[in-house]
Amino acid sequence: MANIVGRKKIWFTIPCIVFVITLAVSLIFGVELDINFRGGSLVTYSFDGDVDKAVFEDTIEQSLGSSISLQQQQDVATRKTNYVATLSTKGGISPETQQEITLALQEQFPDNNVEVVSANNVDPAIGRDFFVKSMVAVATAAVLMILYIAFRFRKMGGWSAGVFACVALIHDVMYVFAAFVIFRFPIGDSFIAVALTILGYSINATIVIYDRIRENKRLMQGKSGLSGIVNTSISQSLRRTVNTTVSTVLAIGTVCVIAVIYNVESILIFSLPMAIGMLAGAYSSVCLAGPLWLTWQEHKAARKRAGA
């Protein structure tokens, strides 16, 4: 039987280290924001033949006078490869500036028939509004989960169980955020989608462990202390949690590998943080939620004895 509870200080220390590293990287290198949150323009260029991506990007940057992000995209209708330039300008680019960039590209690649397929200016207010609404949805879901767990597991101190289940979920989102910051992925729609998916995925394993604790409190009452009950419950659920997580992460990992091979950045930005978040969700369910609840119960018992 795994001694999860006996090593709880180690389990509590690891997330603190990850938090410090993430905070340091965020302060030193900053946090990349997607165009939906910072505003700017998306311009898609088509061309014939082979065009050097680095030269294409450098030509746009010299014409614009600022750095850009250039991604390769496959046009489903024409089967041609396009380049999508993300221009970080708050007010977007004017038609005159866009025309200057296009002329510079056509001069640099006179035999490749470079043309603008589409150009869109993005207002950052839309992204901010979406982010705020997503956070409201997450906060509402957290409150409802606490209420449900408090009622469902009221015989084992339901309120504390619900609160620490939400603490575990915050831990999972922190790891997703760390993945975006460390790998320099832009925070945008993909971050919101991954975070919401991880919240729903992780809470299931935590609920299973809480259910085992509740049942074992009834079956093992008087045979083992609370620490032994929690450790037994986690051990009984460990194989299920590991098997479920490994099978899911293997599938997501395969998507990551394919995204790297074919240089599909949009899929990689979603799949890699998703895999890391799922591993963090398994970790928090097994190593944090139960031990945190146990630590709180032991603290309450110690205060009660001191008061008596």
Answer yes or no: do 268 and 135 share one domain. yes
Amino acid at 150: A
Mean pLDDT to the nearest integer, 186-197? 88
Question: Rounded to an integer, what distance in angstroms lies between the CA atom of residue 96 and that of residue 285?
Answer: 55
* Cβ–Cβ under 8 Å, residues 235 and 2: yes
Tell me if 29 is assigned to some domain.
Answer: no
Same domain? For 274 and 169 the reply is yes
Given a cut of 80, whether residue 221 has pLDDT beyond it is no
Is 28 a member of any domain?
Answer: no
Over 80: is that where the pLDDT of 225 sits?
yes
Total Cβ atoms within 10 A of residue 72: 13
Percent of the chain scoring above 90 in pLDDT: 38
Residues 110 and 140 in one domain: no
- What CATH number does the domain containing 269 carry? 1.20.1640.10
- CB count in 10 Å sphere of residue 305: 8
Residue 159 lies in a domain: yes
Task: Note whether residue 34 is domain-resident.
Answer: no
What is the model's pLDDT at position 158?
Answer: 79
The per-residue pLDDT for 134 is: 78
57, 86: one domain: yes
Identify the domain boundary among 122, 153, 175. Answer: 122
Q: Is residue 195 part of a domain?
A: yes
Exposure string for 120-139, b = 16+ CB within 10 A, e = fewer: ebbebeebeeebeebeeebe
User: Has residue 51 been placed in a domain?
Assistant: yes
For 268-291, the pLDDT digits (tens) are 999 999 999 999 999 999 999 999
Q: Give whole-number Cα distances, 99 to 35, 73, 102, 298, in Å.
A: 21, 22, 5, 69
Provide the pLDDT for residue 1: 65
Residue 178 and residue 106 share a domain: no
Distance CA 239, CA 201 (A): 17
- pLDDT computed for residue 219 by the predictor: 84
Domain end call among 71, 97, 122: 122
Instruction: Examine residue 183 and state whether it is found in any structural domain, yes or no.
Output: yes
Range of the domain at 64: 40-122
Do residues 75 and 135 both lie within one domain? no
Counting beta carbons within 10 angstroms of the beta carbon of residue 281, is it exposed (0 to 12), middle (13 to 18) or buried (19 or more)?
buried
Residues 87 and 176 in one domain: no
Residues 46 and 58 in one domain: yes
Instruction: Identify whether the C-beta of residue 205 lies closer than 8 Å to the C-beta of residue 285.
Output: yes
Tell me if 3 is assigned to some domain: no
pLDDT, tens digit, 9 for 90 and up, residues 24-68: 999 999 888 887 777 778 888 988 888 888 899 999 988 888 888
Do residues 110 and 187 both lie within one domain? Answer: no
Give the Cα separation of 69 and 114 in Å (integer).
Answer: 18
Q: What's the total number of domains in the chain?
A: 2
Q: Give the integer Cα–Cα distance in Å for 230 and 48.
A: 64
**Same domain for 254 and 162:** yes
In Å, how far from its chain's centre is CA 226?
34
3-state helix, strand, coil in the chain (%, to 5): 70, 10, 15
Residue after which a domain boundary falls, among 104, 122, 140? 122
The answer to whether residues 83 and 107 belong to one domain is yes
**Quick one: 187 and 247 in the same domain?**
yes
CATH number for the domain harbouring residue 114: 3.30.70.3220
pTM of the model: 0.83
> Is the CB of residue 291 less than 8 Å from the CB of residue 11?
yes
| Contact of 278 with 142, CB cutoff 8 Å | no
Which pair of structure tokens corresponds to residue 218?
A: 């009834």
